[in-house]
C-alpha cells in the first residue's frame, strides 16, 4: 500500500496513511464525506442567495426607490417559472430510464444560474440615475436577467435533487436530505455574514463585486459537489445503484390529488402558511431601512439572525421527530411562533424600534423552521412507495406559487396601503398583520379540523412518495 | 473581555442570590414576615434605582440596572412562594379536575400574583422607550415572558416536574399540573426562548455601543438560562439531577433542614 504513494514526500505520505487508517476504523466516515461533498452544492446555493434576497432587494427598494411591487415581482420570477421543474424533471427522468446522464441538465441549469447571478447586480447600474438606458428598456433587461436566473435555479435544483435520489438508497435518503437542507441554511448564514462584513463601507460597485464573487463561489461549489457523481460504464451506460420508476404525468397527479378532501385541506394549510411566511420575505430588509432607519450592514445582519434561528428551529424539530412525536404538532407550534413573530414585528413599527424588530425576525425564523421541517416530515409520513415522481413536484409547485404570490402580494399590498393612507409604517404593518392572520387561519384550521390528530392516527393518507422532489430552495425563499 | 466579566457577574449574582433565598426559605415560618418585609424595602429601593439609572449609560449603571431588575423580579417570586401575595382561596372539588376546571382554579388561586406580575411587566414596558439604559426593564420583561412560558408548560404537562419540593402551604398547586407528556406547546415555548437568546446575543455582538453590548450579554445569559430550565422540564434523568443538585444548592438545602 505504501509503495503506490512513493512520489509523495514522506511526511504527507504518513498523514495519508493515518487518514486512511482513520477512515477504515470509522465505517460511517466515507458516507459522511460523500454527503458533505454533495451538500457543497446546497452550501453554494445558500451563499449566492444571501446577497440577492438580503441586500439587492433592499438597495433597489430603499436606496434606488424602485417600487416594492416591481422588485418583489423580479425576486419572485423564479417561483412562477417553477412549473418548468415538472417538465425538466420529466424529460430527465425519461432519459435516465434510457440510461443516459442526468448531468447535462445540471450543467445547463448551473450555467444559467451562474449567468443570472453574475448579471443580476447590473440591474443596479441600469436603475441608477447615471444609466444611459431609459424607460421600459431597463425593466425589460432586468426582467430578462431574473428570468434566466429563475429558469436556471429551477432546472439545477430539480436535476440535483433527482440526482441525489438516484445515487442514494431508500434507507439513507431521509438522513441525507436533512443534512443537505441544513447545509443550505448554513450557506445562507455564512453568506449573509460575509456579505455584511464586506459591505461595511457600502457602494454600488462594492455590491456588484460581492455578488459576482458569490456567483463564482456557487459555480465552484457546484463543480466540487457534482463532479464525477454519475459514473459511466465502459459501454456508455450508467452505473445505477438504485432503480427508478418512470414518473407520472402531470394530469394524473393532479387528479389523484383532488380526490381526497383531507389532502386538499393539507394543501390549503401548506399554501396559506407559506403565503403568510412568504409575504414578509421581500419586505423585511426595506422595513428595517425605511421605517427603522437601519443601515445596509444592520439589515443584512437580520438575515443572519433569521438564519441562525432557522438552523436551531430545524435542530429542535429534528429532536422532536427523533423522539417519535407527531409532525403535525410542529406545524401548529411553528404557526403559533409565526403569529407571535409577526405581532412583535408589527409592534416594532410603533414602539421599541430596531431591537424589537430583530426579536420579531428571530421568532419568525424559528416558526418558519419548525413549519418547514414539520411540513416536509408530514409529506414524508404521507408518502408510500406505490407512486413516485412528479407528484411531489406538484407539491413543490404549490409551495413555490404560494411563495411567489405571497412575495408579490406583499409588495403590491405595501404600495397600495402606503398610497391610500399616506403612511410608510402602515404599509408594512398592514402586510405583516395580514400575514399573521393567514397563520391564525392555518393554526385554527388545523386545530378545528383536528388535522394533527388525524395525521397521527393515520386517517389522512396519500399515495405519494419521493421526498427527493421537494425543491430545496423552499426552505428559505 | 467585557463580555466575560458581565457573564461571570450574572452567574455569580444568580448563584449567590438563589443560595440566599434557599437558606432564608428553609428557616422557621415566623422569620418569613421579617424576611419579606426586608425584601420589600430592598425591592422598592431597586425600583427607584431602575428609574434613576434609565438615562445613565455608564458601565456600572448597566450592572446596577440588571441587578436591580433581578431583585425586583426576585421580590415578586418570593411574595408568591412565601404566601404573601398569591390569589383567592379556592376550594378544590374532587380530583381529578377537568381541563377547564384546572385552568380556572389555577388562575383563581394565583390571580393576585399574576396581577402584580402584569403590573411589573406594564411598568417595565412603559419605561423602555426613550431609556438609554433599558437593561433592568428588559430584564424584568424577559423574566416575565420566560416565567409565564414555564408556568404554561407545567400547566399543559411536562415530564420532569413533580413539585415534591414545594412547601406545604403550596402543595395544592400540584393539582393544576398537566399529565407527564410532551405537548406541542413545549416546542413553541422553546422557539420563543431560543429566539430571545439569539436576539440578545445578536445585540451583544452587533451593537456599536458598549453599554448595549453588556446589556445584551446579560439578556442572552438570562434567556439562555431560561431555555435550559425549560429543557430540564422535559428530561427525566437521574444523572441530570446530580449536576443540578450542585448548581441549585440542593446541597445547601439538604444541610439546612426545614424546621
Calculate how close chain A gets to B97, using CA atoms only, in Å: 23
Q: Which helix (H) or strand (E) is B145 found in, with range?
A: helix B135-156
pLDDT of B243 strictly over 60: no
Whole-prediction pTM value? 0.71
| Whether B187 and A330 lie within 8 Å, measured CB to CB | yes
- Look at residues A138, A89, A86 and name the one whose alpha carbon lies nearest to residue A250: A86
| Whether B194 and A320 lie within 8 Å, measured CB to CB | no
Residues of chain A neighbouring B192 (CB-CB closer than 8 A): 337, 340, 363, 366
pLDDT of B15 strictly over 80: no
Q: A288 touching B, CB under 8 A?
A: no
Report for A470-474, B120-124, B184-188, B233-237: range of highest mean pLDDT: B120-124
SS3 for A260? coil
- Let me know if residue A15 belongs to a domain: no
Tally of domains in chain A: 1
CATH of the domain at A214: 1.20.1250.20
Q: How far apart are CA A48 and CA A41, in angstroms?
A: 11
| Closest chain B residue to the Cα of A307, Cα to Cα | B198
Res B259: pLDDT: 38
Cell 374532587 -> residue? B94
pLDDT tens digits along A95-118:
666 666 778 888 888 999 999 888
Res A474: pLDDT: 39
Residues of chain A neighbouring B215 (CB-CB closer than 8 A): none
| Closest chain A residue to the Cα of B203, Cα to Cα | A355
Of B128, B187, B198, the CB nearest to A316: B187
Average pLDDT of chain B to the nearest whole number = 79
SS3 for A212? helix
Residues 6+ apart with CB under 8 A from A309: A361, A362, A363, A364, A365, A366, A369, B194, B195, B198
- ipTM score of complex: 0.78
Q: A336 touching B, CB under 8 A?
A: yes
Where does residue A466 fall: left (phi above 0), alpha (psi -120 to 50 degrees), or beta otherwise? left
pLDDT of A237 strictly over 80: no
pLDDT of A247 strictly over 50: no
| Whether B195 and A298 lie within 8 Å, measured CB to CB | no
What percentage of residues in chain B have a pLDDT greater than 90? 10
Q: How confident is the model at residue A367 (pLDDT cuts 50, 70, 90)?
A: very high
SS3 for A357? helix
B28-65 burial code (b ≥16 CB/10 A, e <16): eeeebeeebeebeeebeebbebbeebbebbeeebbbbb
N-to-C CA span, chain A = 49
pLDDT tens digits along A315-334:
788 777 766 677 788 889 99
Q: A355 touching B, CB under 8 A?
A: yes
| Closest chain A residue to the Cα of B193, Cα to Cα | A363
Cell of A194: 460575509
| Closest chain B residue to the Cα of A359, Cα to Cα | B199
Q: How far apart are CA B182 and CA B184, in angstroms?
A: 7
A-B Cβ pairs (cutoff 8 Å, strict): 70
pLDDT tens digits along B156-204:
877 766 666 666 777 777 777 777 777 888 889 889 999 999 999 888 8
Residues 6+ apart with CB under 8 A from B111: B87, B88
Cell of A405: 404570490
| Whether B194 and A323 lie within 8 Å, measured CB to CB | no
- Look at residues A102, A241, A87 and name the one whose alpha carbon lies nearest to residue A168: A241
Q: How confident is the model at residue A270 (pLDDT cuts 50, 70, 90)?
A: confident
Average pLDDT rounded to a whole number, residues B45-56: 88
Q: How confident is the model at residue A475 (pLDDT cuts 50, 70, 90)?
A: very low
Res B45: pLDDT: 92
Of B129, B187, B195, the CB nearest to A363: B195
- Let me know if residue A17 belongs to a domain: no
Which residues sit opposite A238 in a β-bridge?
A: A232
- Residue of B134, B141, B187, B200 to mutate, testing the A interface (most A Cβ within 10 Å of its Cβ): B187
| Closest chain B residue to the Cα of A317, Cα to Cα | B187
CB atoms within 10 A of CB A463: 18
For residue A223, what are the domain limits? Answer: 36-227+250-475
Amino acid at each position: 500500500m505504501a509503495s503506490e504513494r512513493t512520489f509523495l514526500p514522506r511526511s504527507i505520505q504518513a498523514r495519508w496513511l493515518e487518514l486512511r487508517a482513520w477512515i477504515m476504523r470509522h465505517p460511517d466516515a466515507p458516507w459522511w464525506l460523500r454527503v458533505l461533498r454533495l451538500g457543497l452544492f446546497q452550501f453554494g446555493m445558500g451563499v449566492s442567495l444571501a446577497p440577492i434576497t438580503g441586500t439587492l432587494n433592499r438597495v433597489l427598494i430603499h436606496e434606488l426607490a424602485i417600487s416594492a411591487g416591481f422588485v418583489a415581482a423580479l425576486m419572485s420570477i423564479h417561483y412562477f417559472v417553477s412549473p418548468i421543474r415538472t417538465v425538466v424533471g420529466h424529460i430527465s427522468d425519461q432519459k435516465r430510464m434510457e440510461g443516459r446522464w442526468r448531468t447535462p441538465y445540471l450543467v445547463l441549469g448551473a450555467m444559467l444560474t451562474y449567468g443570472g447571478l453574475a448579471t443580476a447586480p447590473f440591474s443596479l447600474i441600469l436603475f441608477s440615475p447615471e444609466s444611459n438606458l431609459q424607460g421600459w428598456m431597463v425593466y425589460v433587461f432586468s426582467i430578462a436577467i431574473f428570468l434566466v436566473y429563475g429558469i436556471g435555479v429551477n432546472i439545477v435544483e430539480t436535476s440535483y435533487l433527482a440526482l441525489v435520489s438516484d445515487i442514494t438508497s431508500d434507507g439513507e435518503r431521509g438522513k441525507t436530505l436533512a443534512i443537505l437542507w441544513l447545509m443550505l441554511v448554513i450557506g445562507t448564514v455564512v453568506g449573509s455574514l460575509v456579505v455584511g462584513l464586506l459591505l461595511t463601507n457600502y457602494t454600488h460597485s462594492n455590491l456588484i463585486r460581492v455578488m459576482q464573487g458569490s456567483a463564482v463561489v456557487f459555480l465552484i461549489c457546484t463543480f466540487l459537489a457534482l463532479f464525477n457523481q454519475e459514473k459511466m460504464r465502459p459501454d456508455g451506460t450508467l452505473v445505477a445503484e438504485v432503480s427508478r420508476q418512470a414518473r407520472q404525468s402531470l394530469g394524473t397527479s393532479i387528479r389523484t390529488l383532488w380526490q381526497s378532501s383531507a389532502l386538499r385541506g393539507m394543501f390549503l394549510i401548506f399554501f396559506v402558511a407559506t403565503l403568510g411566511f412568504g409575504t414578509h420575505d421581500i419586505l423585511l430588509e426595506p422595513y428595517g431601512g425605511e421605517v427603522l432607519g437601519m443601515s445596509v450592514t444592520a439589515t443584512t445582519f437580520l438575515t443572519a439572525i433569521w438564519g441562525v434561528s432557522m438552523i436551531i428551529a430545524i435542530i429542535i424539530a429534528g429532536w422532536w421527530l427523533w423522539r417519535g412525536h407527531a409532525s403535525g404538532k410542529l406545524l401548529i407550534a411553528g404557526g403559533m411562533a409565526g403569529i407571535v413573530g409577526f405581532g412583535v414585528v408589527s409592534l416594532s413599527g410603533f414602539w421599541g424600534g430596531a431591537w424589537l424588530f430583530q426579536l420579531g425576525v428571530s421568532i419568525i425564523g424559528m416558526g418558519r423552521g419548525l413549519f418547514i421541517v414539520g411540513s416536509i416530515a408530514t409529506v414524508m409520513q404521507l408518502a408510500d412507495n406505490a407512486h413516485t415522481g412528479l407528484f411531489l413536484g406538484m407539491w413543490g409547485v404549490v409551495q413555490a406559487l404560494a411563495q411567489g404570490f405571497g412575495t408579490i402580494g406583499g409588495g403590491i399590498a405595501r404600495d397600495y396601503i402606503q398610497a391610500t393612507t399616506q403612511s410608510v409604517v402602515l404599509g408594512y404593518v398592514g402586510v405583516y398583520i395580514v400575514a399573521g392572520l393567514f397563520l391564525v387561519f392555518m393554526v385554527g384550521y388545523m386545530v378545528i379540523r383536528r388535522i394533527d390528530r388525524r395525521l397521527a392516527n393515520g386517517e389522512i393518507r396519500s399515495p405519494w412518495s419521493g421526498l427527493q422532489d421537494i425543491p430545496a430552495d423552499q426552505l428559505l425563499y | 473581555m467585557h463580555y466575560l466579566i458581565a457573564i461571570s457577574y450574572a452567574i455569580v449574582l444568580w448563584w449567590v442570590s438563589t443560595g440566599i433565598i434557599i437558606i432564608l426559605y428553609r428557616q422557621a415560618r415566623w422569620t418569613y414576615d421579617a424576611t419579606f418585609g426586608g425584601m420589600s424595602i430592598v425591592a422598592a429601593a431597586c425600583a427607584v434605582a431602575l428609574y434613576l439609572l434609565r438615562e445613565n449609560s455608564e458601565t456600572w449603571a448597566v450592572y446596577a440596572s440588571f441587578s436591580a431588575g433581578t431583585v425586583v423580579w426576585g421580590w415578586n417570586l418570593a411574595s408568591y412562594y412565601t404566601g404573601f401575595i398569591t390569589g383567592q382561596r379556592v376550594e378544590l372539588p374532587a380530583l381529578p379536575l377537568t381541563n377547564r376546571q384546572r385552568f380556572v382554579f389555577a388562575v383563581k388561586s394565583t390571580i393576585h400574583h399574576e396581577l402584580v406580575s402584569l403590573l411589573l411587566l406594564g411598568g417595565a414596558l412603559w419605561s423602555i422607550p426613550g431609556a438609554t439604559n433599558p437593561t433592568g426593564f428588559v430584564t424584568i420583561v424577559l423574566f416575565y415572558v420566560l416565567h409565564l412560558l414555564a408556568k404554561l408548560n407545567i400547566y399543559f404537562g411536562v415530564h420532569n416536574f413533580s413539585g415534591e419540593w414545594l412547601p406545604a402551604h403550596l402543595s395544592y398547586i400540584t393539582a393544576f399540573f398537566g399529565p407527564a407528556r410532551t405537548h406541542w406547546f413545549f416546542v413553541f415555548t422553546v422557539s420563543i426562548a431560543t429566539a430571545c437568546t439569539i436576539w440578545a446575543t445578536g445585540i451583544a455582538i452587533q451593537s456599536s455601543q458598549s453599554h448595549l453590548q453588556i446589556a445584551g450579554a446579560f439578556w442572552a445569559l438570562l434567556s439562555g438560562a431560561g431555555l435550559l430550565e425549560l429543557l430540564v422540564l422535559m428530561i427525566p434523568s437521574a444523572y441530570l439531577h446530580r449536576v443540578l443538585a450542585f448548581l441549585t444548592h440542593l446541597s445547601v438545602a439538604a444541610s439546612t433542614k426545614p424546621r
